Each structure stands twice: as C-alpha cells, then as structure tokens.
Amino acid sequence: MFRYLIQKLKNNPKKIVFTEGNDERVLEAAARLLSGTFLTPILIGDPEEIHKVAEEACLNIRDVQILQPSTYDKMDAMVEKMVELRRGKMTAEQCRAALQKGNYFGTMLVAMKEADCLLGGATYSTADTVRPALQLIKTRPGNKIVSSCFILVRPFATGGNQVLAMGDCAINIDPNEDDLVEITQEVVNCARRFGVDPKVAMLSYSTLGSGAGPAVDKMRNACDKLKALDLDFPVDGEFQFDAAVSPTVGRLKAPGSDVAGRANTFIFPDISAGNIGYKIAQRMGNFDAYGPILLGLNAPINDLSRGCNAMEVYSMAIITAALAD
C-alpha cells in the first residue's frame, strides 16, 4: 500500500506541517522523509531546541525547514487572515496569541497554502488538533460534519495485503441517520485512495430485522437512505459482523446480498462500537491500524496517538499527504 502512495507522491510532491517539531519521534520521521523527494516536512518550534533534540538522537535534519511562530516574518498577514476566518469570533490580539501555539500556527500555514497538509497529536490531544481545523480549515462544501476512518492492513499468506476501512471510530459519538449517510460516503472515498474497492456493511447487533431497537432502526434507515442515492458502490445492512464478513453466514442470513460475506468497508452505529471494533482487529487480528484519518475537511489534517512511535508518524505523514488534492 505504501509503495503505491509514495509513487503517487513522487508524481506530485507535497509539503506537510508537523506541529510538534521538537518531539524525537517526529524528528525521526522527518529525517526519514528528508532522505526522499516525495514529501517535504515543515517543523514548528524553536530551531535551537529542535536541533538539540535531533543531535542527541543522532538524527540528520540539516536541510529541514523550521518555522517558529515568534519570529515568523508573515505573522501580520497570518493574523489578518485568521481574523477573517474566525468572522468576528476572535480579535486580532486573541488570534496573535493563539498563533504562538503550534496547533493553530500549523493549521494557518495550511489555510494560507504554505503547506498542503498537517499532522499533529504526538503531544496535543485530539481535541487540540481537531478544533483549529474546524475553525480555520472548515468542512468542504456539502459536508455538515467532520468524521474519521481507520485503514487496517495485514499481509495475506499468499502475498499482497488485505486492506479494510472502518468508520467512524474517533469523532462522532452517536451519529444520526443523516450523519451516517455522510460518514459512509466519506469513508468510501477514503478507502478508494488506498486501493479498496468498497463493499459497505452497515453494522448492528441485528441482521436484516433479526433484532429490534432504536440502534437497529438507525442503521437500517441510514442504509435505505444510501440505497436511494445514485451510488457507485454496493451497500447493505443492517448486518451483524459475522454476516458481513463470513460467506457462509452471509449466505444464510442475507441470501442474495452483494455485500454479505464480502464486506471490506464497515460503518459502525456509534463511537463505542467503532473504537472497540478497530482495536479488536488491530490487537487480535494482527492488522496494522492507520488513523484516525479525519474526513470532510477542506484540507488533510490528521491526528496521531500520543503513544505513537516514529514509524507510525512516518506512515501517517504519507497517508495524510496522499489525501491532499
């Protein structure tokens, strides 16, 4: 999968902002990116501190671009633009103060087209990464919410990789039917970026009416609304997970379905199910889990786990950049 993404970026190189430039894991990922030609890292922070951390870790970041908010020569223009984007909700003084923080400063670099995408969260919380994105990057026209998905990858014994998509596992706590319709379309678009030919299962504790309850109705109604659209991918449900992935169970519980037993893109009813589901696949199914990948924004802004390692930072940087148009 990554070979495909790197080749895509070689054909159209991008710039990515790292909001925590003094973090050793970020620096290791940046050093690795600097050895290639497909993705240029921009580090935010104090240059002296960043170079000290890199030197202590024996990392070569000699040619990296480092931007420090307190000395940034375009700060006045950035403040003016941020005031415009906040539409009266923040004064110039408040914007200038916020821009001293790496999360807001980095997000504005993307908003002002100084970079193509951003990766944060090595030390920032998810909320501190997502909030500036919602305020400054905003959702794409036609989108009402920001959602997320995870891409899960594991090798086949016969060669190649099995690639799955799951959403929403990180952002929307209890999406309604219309939210689920939007989430599904965004997850499908994301899955295709990673070579998945989406077959979408709307998951529940019920398969086509075998159970009852508001959560079942929500998934069934969302599925019906999706089917009423002019889609170019199959979607079905509501399905229990076994009916979605097991051909034997799928034939028994949902005969005639184009998705049952063959699903590779999974939409969960709420964040609890989604978060538990992807982590079970990761820890017990031996999948590598990449995400959360934020969906619905005007530019790719992604969040790391604070427990990430340098390889995960590097991988998420490639994934984030691959989503940039």
Tell me the average pLDDT of the chain: 93
Each residue's pLDDT tens digit, 179-205: 999 999 999 999 999 889 999 999 999
The band of 166, judged by pLDDT with boundaries at 50, 70 and 90, is: very high
Each residue's pLDDT tens digit, 7-34: 888 989 999 999 999 999 999 999 999 9
Check residues 42 and 290 and name the one with the higher pLDDT.
Answer: 42
* Predicted local distance difference test score (pLDDT) of residue 314: 93
pLDDT for residue 306 is more than 90 = no
pLDDT for residue 1 is more than 80 = no
Cis peptide before 28 (omega within 30 of 0): no
pLDDT for residue 223 is more than 80 = yes
**Secondary structure (3-state) at 206:** coil
| Whole-number Å distance between alpha carbons of 17 and 136 | 15
> Across-strand partners of 202?
237, 267
Burial 273-308 (b: 16+ CB within 10 A, else e): bbbebbeebbeeeebbbbbbbbbbbbbbbbbbeeeb
Residue range 2-138+297-322 in CATH 3.30.70.20: no
* Predicted local distance difference test score (pLDDT) of residue 304: 87
> Across-strand partners of 162?
154
Are β-strands 117-120 and 147-155 bridged in parallel, bridged antiparallel, or unpaired? Answer: unpaired
Whether the domain at 2-138+297-322 and the domain at 147-288 fall into the same CATH topology: yes
Return phi, psi of residue 75, to 5°: -60, -40
Tokens 């998810």 correspond to what residue? 126
The whole-model pTM stands at: 0.88
* Predicted local distance difference test score (pLDDT) of residue 315: 92
Spans of all domains in the chain: 2-138+297-322, 147-288
Sequence-ordered strand ranges (E) for the chain: 14-18, 39-44, 65-67, 117-120, 147-155, 161-167, 200-203, 235-239, 265-267, 288-295, 301-303
Sheet holding 65-67, edge to edge: 65-67, 39-44, 14-18, 117-120, 301-303
* Predicted local distance difference test score (pLDDT) of residue 32: 93
Q: How big, in percent rounded to 5, are the helix, strand and coil portions of the chain?
A: 45, 20, 35
What DSSP assignment string belongs to 274-320?
HHHHHHHHHHHS--EEEEEEEESBSS-EEE--TT--HHHHHHHHHHH
Mean local confidence (pLDDT), 157-178: 92
Taken as a whole, the chain contains a residue count of 325
Each residue's pLDDT tens digit, 120-132: 988 888 888 889 9
Out of 3.40.50.10750, 3.30.930.10, 3.40.50.1220, 3.40.50.2000, select the CATH number for domain 147-288: 3.40.50.10750
Mean local confidence (pLDDT), 256-267: 96
| Whole-number Å distance between alpha carbons of 58 and 61 | 9
**Torsion 13-19-175-143 (CA) sign:** negative
> Across-strand partners of 154?
162
